[in-house]
């Protein structure tokens, strides 16, 4: 029944062009940068305020301050209680989406485009006049403490937390959990939140991105109206040495008695967002563990059936974020899975990717670029990234060309410089009595066992 032509992969049709939508860049007199993009397929709009207020600014004693301050924005403003604020936002079909990371705090919302005036008015009120009532701050702190407790009992969370701690030297922010610890979050108070807002929620150094069915003139005028009275600026971030905890390879088992799976994390200190290897590294990571057809996934999942999935990521930040391979595997195959993963990593660095793999990774990354720019929220998030990392407004114009121009040699060079198999720490959250012996038998590195938190 099958026609002969079925055996042939169909040819591609004519390529249709794709350009990143053009970004209008402006600024208010108070220093607030405005970036707007008009896309009008559907009558919807996304606004994101980007604040230079990340956790990476804070020392260990203050860990969680940026996250908690972001949490507490829902507590109300000088104009409305928290309940009134929530009702006003939801009446226009919006909700605050607050994202605190190492490099920034973002406060975003989406709504139908004809409600943008009300939306920006509420957004400005939340950022310029937050009220931090005692009972709301206490409530949100208690919720965060409970969330920390959940993280400390989550198998994946336990392994990731241990991996970060073992990756960075004592005192490097990236070595601790983003939202802090019970000790650092416990003393959080309304004064702490208000102090952080005074220091970091300032127009100079911040940005506002608006993407959707609105024109730049309208955006400029609305932003002027609602954010024009905001004043002040932020201090430069501290200089931090993102030093590793060790340059020796080793395996650390975080014991979880009777666990049915082992959570594995393999990595070391990685790269900054501004690394010169950024594009070659995207290619290398795709080949190693950034796509379904990556070496790690094909080996651990499709050949051996050890896992549901495995991935590799370079978490690029202002400072050198971690490079981390992560997976969850059956207890009985833990050592085999570690062996296969370490072998794949080592081989890739030593021998480099093949021309075929680099070609596939280039096509994949260049091809999926527009797939991830369909919505106002996706476009706004990409532009927010430009503000956070001081990248030029036309950065995305030649993004696909830069991906497509990465050579085999550049990719191999990036792998050699950015992945160092002899410096990897392997963290395994699992049942020590079952897996310690087999891991030692690998002979790859010293095995130590820790109790889980």
Sites for other proteins among residues 96-115 (CB under 8 A): 96, 110-112
Segments in 1-109 forming alpha helices (H): 65-71, 82-91
- Please identify which residue in the block is written with the tokens 């009532």: 133
Question: Which residue, 371 or 451, is less far from other proteins as judged by CB?
Answer: 371
CA distance 273 to 246: 23
Closer CB to other proteins, 220 or 304, in the complex: 304
CB of 151 to other proteins, least distance (A): 8
143 binds other proteins (CB under 8 A): yes
In contact, 122 and 91? CB cutoff 8 Å: no
- Determine the interface stretch with other proteins among 141-149, 173-181, 269-277, 408-416 (rule: CB under 8 A): 141-149
Q: What's the rounded Cα separation, in Å, for the pair 78 and 126?
A: 9
Number of residues this chain uses to bind other proteins (CB under 8 A): 82
Residue carrying structure tokens 């260990």: 60
Nearest CA among 12, 47, 51, 45 for reference residue 32: 51
Residues 191-250 that bind other proteins (CB under 8 A): none
Tell me: does residue 366 bind other proteins (CB under 8 A). yes
Q: Compute the least distance from the CB of residue 259 to other proteins, in Å.
A: 6
Q: Would you count residue 10 as binding other proteins (CB under 8 A)?
A: yes
Which of the residues 346 through 365 are near other proteins (CB under 8 A)? 360, 363-365
Assigned token pair, 234: 């932020």
Selected range binding other proteins among 25-33, 84-92, 160-168, 215-223, rule: CB under 8 A? 84-92
Q: Please, what is the minimum distance in Å from the beta carbon of residue 86 to other proteins?
A: 4
Site string for other proteins, 279-308 (x = CB under 8 A): ------------xxx----x--xxxxxxxx
CB 106 within 8 A of CB 49: yes
For other proteins, give the closer residue by CB, 244 or 289: 289
Q: How far apart are CA 299 and CA 45, in angstroms?
A: 43
Residue closest to 300 by CA, chosen among 323, 322, 330: 330
Binding of residue 74 to other proteins (CB under 8 A):
yes
Q: Is residue 89 a contact residue for other proteins (CB under 8 A)?
A: yes
* 373 touches other proteins (CB under 8 A): yes
Which strand (E) or helix (H) includes residue 207? strand 207-212
Whole-number Cα distances in Å, 429 to 244, 270, 308, 422, 450 = 21, 22, 17, 21, 9
Given a contact cutoff of 8 angstroms between Cβ atoms, the answer to whether 163 and 425 are in contact is yes
Give me the least distance between CB of 13 and other proteins, in Å please: 4
Among 1, 239, 241, 451, binds other proteins (CB under 8 A): 1
């Amino acid at each position: 029944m099958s026609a002969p032509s079925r055996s042939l992969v169909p040819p591609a049709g004519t390529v249709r062009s794709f350009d990143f939508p053009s970004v209008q860049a402006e600024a208010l007199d108070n220093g607030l940068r405005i970036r707007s993009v008009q896309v009008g397929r559907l009558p919807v709009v996304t606004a994101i305020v980007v604040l230079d207020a990340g956790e990476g600014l804070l020392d260990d004693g203050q860990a969680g301050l940026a996250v908690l301050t972001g949490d507490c924005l829902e507590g109300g403003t000088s104009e409305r209680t928290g309940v009134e604020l929530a009702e006003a936002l939801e009446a226009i079909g919006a909700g605050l989406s607050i994202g605190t990371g190492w490099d920034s705090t973002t406060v975003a919302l989406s709504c139908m485009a004809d409600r943008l005036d009300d939306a920006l008015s509420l957004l400005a009120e939340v950022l310029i006049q937050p009220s931090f009532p005692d009972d709301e701050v206490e409530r949100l702190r208690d919720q965060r403490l409970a969330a920390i407790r959940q993280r400390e009992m989550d198998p994946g969370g336990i392994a990731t937390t241990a991996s970060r701690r073992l990756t960075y030297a004592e005192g490097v922010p990236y070595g601790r959990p983003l939202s802090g610890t019970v000790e650092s979050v416990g003393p959080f108070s309304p004064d702490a939140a208000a102090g952080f807002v005074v220091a970091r929620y300032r127009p100079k150094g911040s940005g506002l991105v608006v993407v959707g069915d609105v024109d730049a003139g309208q955006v400029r005028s609305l932003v002027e109206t609602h954010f024009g009275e905001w004043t002040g600026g932020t201090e430069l971030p501290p200089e931090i040495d993102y030093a590793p905890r060790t340059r020796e390879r080793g395996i650390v088992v975080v014991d979880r008695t009777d666990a049915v799976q082992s959570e594995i994390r393999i990595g070391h200190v990685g790269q900054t967002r501004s690394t010169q290897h950024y594009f070659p590294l995207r290619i290398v990571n795709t080949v190693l563990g950034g796509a379904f057809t990556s070496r790690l996934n094909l080996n651990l999942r499709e050949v051996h059936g050890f896992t549901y999935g495995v991935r590799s990521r370079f978490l690029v930040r202002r400072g050198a974020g971690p490079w981390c391979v992560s997976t969850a595997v059956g207890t009985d195959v833990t050592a085999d899975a570690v062996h296969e993963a370490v072998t794949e990593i080592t081989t890739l660095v030593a021998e480099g990717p093949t021309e075929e793999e680099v070609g596939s990774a280039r096509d994949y990354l260049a091809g999926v670029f527009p797939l991830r720019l369909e919505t106002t929220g996706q476009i706004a998030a990409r532009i927010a990234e430009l503000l956070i990392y001081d990248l030029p407004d036309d950065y995305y114009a030649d993004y696909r060309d830069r991906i497509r121009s990465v050579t085999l040699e550049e990719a191999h060079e990036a792998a050699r410089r950015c992945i160092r198999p002899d410096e990897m720490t392997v963290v395994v959250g699992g049942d020590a009595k079952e897996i310690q012996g087999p891991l030692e038998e690998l002979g790859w590195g010293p095995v130590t066992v820790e109790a889980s938190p």
